[in-house]
């Protein structure tokens, strides 16, 4: 399935049904009076987050959504039928943006969450509604109110606990394939990952977390260099960032600073997120090189650095345990803050 995380669509709710002008005409009943019914309500446009979707690819082929008009009123005080709403199902984590791509209209970040984006028009009044003591036979009936319409942007931000960041060829895809059942493309050239990948890591029957791997960043990504920073939105909701650095490349401090600079320039609170640094490809370095590069990175970052080799799984179990403990702690704090 092709991954698509942005889509522009047109939505329009249904118009209200028209009221009707009608009069009672029954044998032996003189001056029956008005009995025109009201129109029915037009259909709403509703967005719903569902758990079995992970891409917006369906909206590439269906871009216009229109709800039906409400039924017209009828004689004998019969109200027109209300139109059924149009329910648009989107992946969890979808944001609905206005046409300017800046104004956030809704954030569907939980399964089953719904939002009514366009409300259907109200039905018009029939002439029975206008009967008064001085106007016993009104011939006025109203048209239904029009529905709402707008163009909106859908932007998907994947829901994950850990965001995997780093430069191209840092070994992120290899790491993801080792710790989860995900099977990303792995090759010895840059930018083998062209769209985000998700993997579920299970440490025990009760402990698991979701990892989001995004395409590698290079210097100037916030200005559009390489694949740019458009995929960084997928790690905005993560509790922890796992910064994977290619230890065999040699310039580990420069690589760390480059990614940190891009995170800062992107914004969205990514630079303030907790970060776990892992020096990858330990099996491709001598013990002296690994020790020296680890010390240099710890000095530059001011944080502990873990040595791992995703290919040989050296140090991976210890790293996963550290990640799980950090994610559990942060999610618990978030739940407590939300409850208070």
Residue-range domain boundaries for the chain: 1-156, 162-339
Task: Answer whether residue 82 shows pLDDT above 90.
Answer: yes
- pTM, two decimals, is 0.74
Specify whether domain 162-339 bears CATH 3.30.70.100.
Answer: no
Handedness of CA 212, 214, 219, 223 (dihedral sign): negative
Least confident of 65-74, 79-88, 167-176, 195-204: 195-204
pLDDT category at 175 given cuts 50, 70, 90 is confident
Consult the annotation and say whether 283 binds a ligand.
yes
Q: What residue has token string 């020296």?
A: 292
Give the CATH superfamily of 1-156. Answer: GTP1/OBG domain (2.70.210.12)
Least confident among 7-21, 24-38, 111-125, 230-244:
230-244
Is residue 215 part of an annotated ligand binding site?
yes
Contact 166, 259 (CB under 8 A): yes
Give the whole-angstrom CA distance, residue 172 versus residue 73.
Answer: 62
Computed over every residue of the chain, the mean pLDDT equals 84
- Residue 213: HSE in the Cβ half-sphere, 13 Å Cα cutoff: 29
Q: 310 labelled as ligand-binding? A: yes
Q: Tally the C-alpha atoms within 13 A of residue 320's C-alpha that lie toward its C-beta.
A: 22
For tokens 């569902």, name the residue. 50
192 is in an annotated binding site: yes
Q: Per the annotation, does 191 bind a ligand?
A: yes
Of these ranges, 227-231, 234-238, 318-322, the one predicted with the greatest mean pLDDT is 318-322
Residues in the chain: 340
User: Does 141 show up as a binding residue in the annotation?
Assistant: no
Q: What is the pLDDT of residue 227?
A: 45
193 annotated ligand-binding residue? yes
- Give the integer Cα–Cα distance in Å for 119 and 83: 11
- Was 222 annotated as part of a binding site? no
216 labelled binding-site residue: yes
213 labeled binding residue: yes
Share of the chain above pLDDT 70, in %: 90
Q: Give how far Cα 184 sits from Cα of 3, 180, 206, 246, Å.
A: 13, 10, 26, 18
**Sign of dihedral through CA atoms 293, 298, 301, 304?**
positive
Whether residue 281 is annotated as binding a ligand: the answer is: yes
Highest mean pLDDT among 112-116, 159-163, 197-201: 112-116
pLDDT of 219 over the 70 cut = no
Determine the average pLDDT of the residues in 286-307: 89
Q: Which residue has the higher pLDDT, 49 or 188?
A: 49
Give the residue among 178, 143, 16, 154 at the shortest CA–CA distance from 81: 16
pLDDT, tens only, 137-156? 899 999 999 999 999 999 88
Distances (CA, A) of 131 to 72, 74, 144, 236: 19, 16, 19, 59
* 309 marked as binding residue: yes
pLDDT for the residue numbered 110:
87
DSSP symbols for 100-167? TS-SEEEEE-STT-EEEEEPPPPPPPPGGGG--SS-SS----PPPPP--EEEEEEEE----SEEEE--
The backbone torsions φ and ψ at residue 8, rounded to the nearest 5 degrees and listed phi first, read: -110, 130
Quick check: 16 pLDDT over 60? yes
pLDDT at 226 over 50: no
| 280 annotated as belonging to a binding site for a ligand | yes
167 known ligand binder? yes
């Amino acid at each position: 399935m092709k991954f698509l995380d942005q889509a522009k669509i047109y939505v329009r709710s249904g118009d209200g049904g028209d009221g009707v002008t009608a009069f009672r005409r029954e044998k032996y009943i003189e001056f029956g009076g008005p009995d025109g019914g009201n129109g029915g309500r037009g259909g709403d446009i509703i967005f719903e987050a569902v758990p079995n979707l992970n891409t917006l690819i369906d909206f590439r082929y269906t871009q216009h959504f229109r709800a039906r008009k409400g039924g017209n009123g009828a004689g004998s005080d019969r109200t027109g039928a209300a139109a059924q709403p149009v329910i648009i199902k989107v992946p969890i984590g979808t944001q609905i943006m206005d046409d300017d791509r800046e104004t956030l209209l809704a954030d569907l970040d939980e399964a089953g969450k719904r939002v009514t984006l366009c409300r259907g028009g109200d039905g018009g009044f029939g002439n029975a509604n206008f009967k008064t003591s001085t106007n016993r036979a009104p011939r006025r009936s109203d048209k239904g109110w029009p529905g709402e319409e707008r163009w909106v942007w859908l932007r998907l931000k994947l829901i994950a606990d850990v965001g995997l960041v780093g430069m191209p060829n840092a070994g992120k895809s290899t790491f993801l394939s080792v710790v989860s059942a995900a099977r990303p493309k792995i090759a010895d050239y840059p930018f083998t990952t062209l769209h985000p990948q998700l993997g579920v890591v299970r440490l025990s029957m009760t402990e698991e977390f979701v990892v989001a791997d995004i395409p590698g960043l290079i210097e100037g990504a916030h200005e559009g260099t390489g694949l740019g920073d458009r995929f960084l939105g997928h790690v905005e909701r993560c509790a922890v960032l796992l910064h994977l650095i290619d230890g065999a490349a040699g310039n580990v401090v420069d690589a760390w600073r480059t990614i940190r600079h891009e995170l800062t320039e992107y914004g969205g609170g990514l630079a303030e997120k907790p970060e776990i640094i892992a020096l990858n490809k330990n099996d491709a370095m001598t013990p002296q090189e690994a020790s020296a590069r680890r010390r240099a990175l710890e000095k530059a970052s001011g944080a502990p650095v873990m040595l791992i080799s995703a290919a040989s799984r050296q140090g991976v179990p210890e790293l996963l345990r550290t990640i799980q403990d950090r994610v559990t702690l942060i999610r618990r704090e978030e739940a407590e803050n939300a409850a208070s």
